[in-house]
Amino acid sequence: MANHVLKEANQAAGLHGKEDKKSFQPHVPQQPNHKDNKDENKMMDKAMVVQALKESFTKLDPRKMVKNPIMFVVEIGFIITLILCFTPDAFGRSEVEPWFNITVALILLFTVLSANFAEALAEGRGKAQADSLKKSKQEITANLLQANGKTVKTASTSLKKGDIVVVSQGEMIPGDGEVIEGLASVDESAITGESAPVIKEAGGDFNSVTGGTRVVSDQIIVKITSNPGESFLDRMISLVEGAERQKTPNEIALNTVLTSLTLIFMIVVVTLPFFTNYLGFSLAIPVLISLLVCLIPTTIGGLLSAIGIAGMDRVTQFNVLAMSGKAVEAAGDINTIILDKTGTITFGNRMASNFIPVGDASLEELHYWTGISSLHDETPEGRSTIELLKEKGSRLDGSVAAEGQVIEFRAETRMSGIDLKDGRQVRKGAVDSVKSWVRAQGGKIPADLDEEAKEIAREGGTPLAVAMEGKIFGLIYLKDTVKPGMKERFDQLRKMGIKTIMATGDNPLTTATIAKEAGVDEFIAECKPEDKIEVIKYEQSQGKLVAMTGDGTNDAPALAQADVGLAMNSGTTAAKEAANMVDLDSNPTKIIEVVSIGKQLLMTRGALTTFSIANDIAKYFAIIPAMFMLAIPEMSALNIMGLSTPLSAILSALIFNAVIIPLLIPLAMKGVAYKPMSSNSLLKRNLTIYGLGGVLVPFIGIKLIDMLVSIFI
């Protein structure tokens, strides 16, 4: 792949290079706290449970039930046994007591309602989130800019794509758009939950604004990018409601397998009377229905939809909006993640990392005058310099600079500093500019200054010289700092079997320095938008699934090409349209949480499928011997659970089959705990816990239920 061939990060050392991508905005959102698990607790919120119970009955509509073939079969069984309750001989002479028909009908109804309740409860969480968003959607008055330069008041609902509005301090942004003029702080807490305002400015990658957010400072001119009813908030509401979520490929495949098993068992049960009649005995229809319900995988059939919906809701709890369940599921199978360097792996702002004295100056002198020059410097570089001085234990004497005249940084001078009240002047800035200033003061240039400055540049940093009057004391080493904990997070991805690739416009040696410090597996230097697509296609050609994070218009093609594209809400409209996920917190590293949730979704589905199939083994030993013991006494040898009577055995298996679904709802909603491990270890764990457990639990449960049932029979 030309000069963009992937290289191991530890095979190179760093040289200075400048990335061509705009620096990440100063605001770095904090990791979401998952609402301190309050959202998990909301699963059992009283109002939500009551609503889910109501919808459980609404979903009994056969037109809705047919979408879940397994539970549809159970509902048909319920309808047949319900008919037999009132007309026992409707399908031929009845050989069972009426109470048995009634009991079976009630158990089957409970089974269907439990499955409907699980799905309704999962959907209810999404609808609750949607209701919360609807509250933030309100009628806003917009200042529509006319062709003559004047503004007129108009309702936000009448704005259309291409309209230009003026939004001043304290006003709500009336619709989704892009800042075309000005710069302002915007409070996005109504959308993201993050209290700290973010900077939005014309040009670059951080000009996208969302309707319903508030401007807290300055004034901006916004070009509307969506028509009424098509805003980002409208899309969020429709997506999180979750009523019509499409099934993912994996879910469709599993549904096909489960439906096939159901069809096979239906054929077996339908043909069974022909064989029993030949042997001289018959089986009652309620008994055959009970056998069918216990044979088919009702447990996973009842929970499958809830598992998928809950997976998407868990992503939403991380303030990530998934455009489809397919994206969440694909995240669980990701092999490669491509991340931008600036704003993703690094802070994006060059920050102080070291102080290097030159000439005969001491480190203490350099610290002192650096502190004097930076106390009133509110730039990211200035604040980071003060923080580093504090970390090194340096004394900051604010009284010396208290009444001085602050010299702001100017592009012409490329310096900043302070003129003290006693007449002394302190400056810091670009090395060449400070050298010229010192010469003008009649001072001398230290012999080692240029070499130290070049060494910093070779390591990918930026040197700032610090001088007072005619003397240069040393250099501040600025560099784009790797975010804390990134190395550990990449180690976590490595344990998941996921390769990390850093993409940047820096030259190869500078890139290698950051890559080695961050701990990524590979990197792409001097990267252009088309190079990202090339790498994604190359990885996909190897049969791998690829995730990509981005925020700029130049990232849009790669986000669209990737299997999982995570766009930042602070980024451009083009990036958000191209991606299949949007991070409302604009925290690019959250892709790690998305991957974990995707894997958790797949694990939960696999674990409960294993448990469901293992359940069936125990139910076979309960119901099959019970059905044939009277006609074939030898079958009693298979009654290893020692169940009391054939009828109690059938009812016990049927009751267990019904109650296990609601008991597993919390696990389906919360998900199986995910820990990074190999596929073999995961398979062994599932077979041990959910396979063996799925066999043992029904044996114990059915026996206990039989002991209770036998009391009443």
Task: Establish whether 61 is an annotated binding residue.
Answer: no
Task: Establish whether 63 is an annotated binding residue.
Answer: no
Question: How far, in Å, CA of 227 to CA of 175, rounded?
Answer: 9
- 551, 568, 584 - which closes a domain: 584
Q: Which domain holds residue 398?
A: 350-481
340 is catalytic: yes
Nearest to 426 by CA among 469, 474, 394: 469
In a domain, 307, yes or no: no
Nearest to 676 by CA among 566, 589, 600, 594: 600
What burial letters (b/e) apply to 315-339, b meaning 16+ CB within 10 Å? bbbbbbbbbebbbbbbbbebbbbbb
- pLDDT, one tens digit per residue, over 510-561 is 678 788 888 889 988 877 778 888 889 999 999 888 998 887 767 788 888 8
Task: Establish whether 415 is an annotated binding residue.
Answer: yes
CATH number, position 549: 3.40.50.1000
102 class by beta-carbon count within 10 Å (0-12 exposed, 13-18 middle, 19+ buried): middle
Task: Establish whether 489 is an annotated binding residue.
Answer: no
Question: How far, in Å, CA of 226 to CA of 159, rounded?
Answer: 9
H or E stretch covering 422: none
Residues 363 and 451 in one domain: yes
With a cut of 90, say whether residue 73 has pLDDT above it: yes
With a cut of 80, say whether residue 302 has pLDDT above it: yes
Residues 510 and 477 in one domain: no
In a domain, 155, yes or no: no
Q: Which of 64-73, 147-156, 450-459, 642-651 has the highest mean pLDDT?
A: 64-73
- Angle among Cα 690, 668, 590 to the nearest 5 degrees reads 110
The region, left, alpha or beta by phi > 0 then psi within -120 to 50, assigned to residue 587 is beta
Residues 571 and 526 in one domain: yes
Residues 464 and 359 in one domain: yes
Dump the DSSP string for 214-263. EEEES-EEEEE-S-TT-SHHHHHHHHHH-TTPPPPHHHHHHHHHHHHHHH
With a cut of 90, say whether residue 133 has pLDDT above it: no
In a domain, 113, yes or no: no
- 569, 584, 599 - which closes a domain: 584
In a domain, 558, yes or no: yes
Residues in contact with 27: Cβ distance below 8 Å, sequence separation at least 6, in sequence order: 196, 197, 198, 199, 570, 586
pTM over 0.75: no
Nearest to 64 by CA among 75, 53, 54: 75
Question: How far, in Å, CA of 311 to CA of 600, rounded?
Answer: 8
Structure tokens at 432: 């060449």
Residues 379 and 396 in one domain: yes
pLDDT in the model for residue 136: 53
pLDDT in the model for residue 138: 59
Residues 354 and 468 in one domain: yes
Question: How far, in Å, CA of 179 to CA of 181, rounded?
Answer: 6
Task: Establish whether 395 is an annotated binding residue.
Answer: no
pLDDT in the model for residue 37: 41
Q: Using pLDDT thresholds of 50, 70 and 90, give the confidence band for residue 198.
A: confident
Task: Establish whether 432 is an annotated binding residue.
Answer: no
With a cut of 60, say whether residue 426 has pLDDT above it: yes
Domains: count for the chain: 2
Parallel/antiparallel/unpaired status of strands 7-8 and 522-524: antiparallel
- 534, 566, 584 - which closes a domain: 584
Residues 425 and 530 in one domain: no
Average pLDDT of the residues in 171-190: 82
In a domain, 376, yes or no: yes
With a cut of 60, say whether residue 14 has pLDDT above it: no
Residues 475 and 494 in one domain: no
With a cut of 70, say whether residue 698 has pLDDT above it: yes
Residues 440 and 558 in one domain: no
Residues 338 and 423 in one domain: no
In a domain, 514, yes or no: yes
Task: Establish whether 373 is an annotated binding residue.
Answer: no
Residues 467 and 513 in one domain: no
In a domain, 492, yes or no: yes
Q: Using pLDDT thresholds of 50, 70 and 90, give the confidence band for residue 132.
A: low
Parallel/antiparallel/unpaired status of strands 499-503 and 522-524: parallel
- pLDDT, one tens digit per residue, over 336-370 is 999 877 666 776 667 888 999 999 999 999 999 99
Residues 388 and 471 in one domain: yes
**484 vs 21, residue with greater confidence:** 484
Q: Using pLDDT thresholds of 50, 70 and 90, give the confidence band for residue 634.
A: confident
Parallel/antiparallel/unpaired status of strands 220-224 and 164-167: antiparallel
* Catalytic residue, candidates 176, 187, 234, 340: 340
Task: Establish whether 364 is an annotated binding residue.
Answer: no
Question: How far, in Å, CA of 611 to CA of 590, rounded?
Answer: 31
How long, in residues, is the chain? 713
Structure tokens at 218: 């300055």
In a domain, 360, yes or no: yes
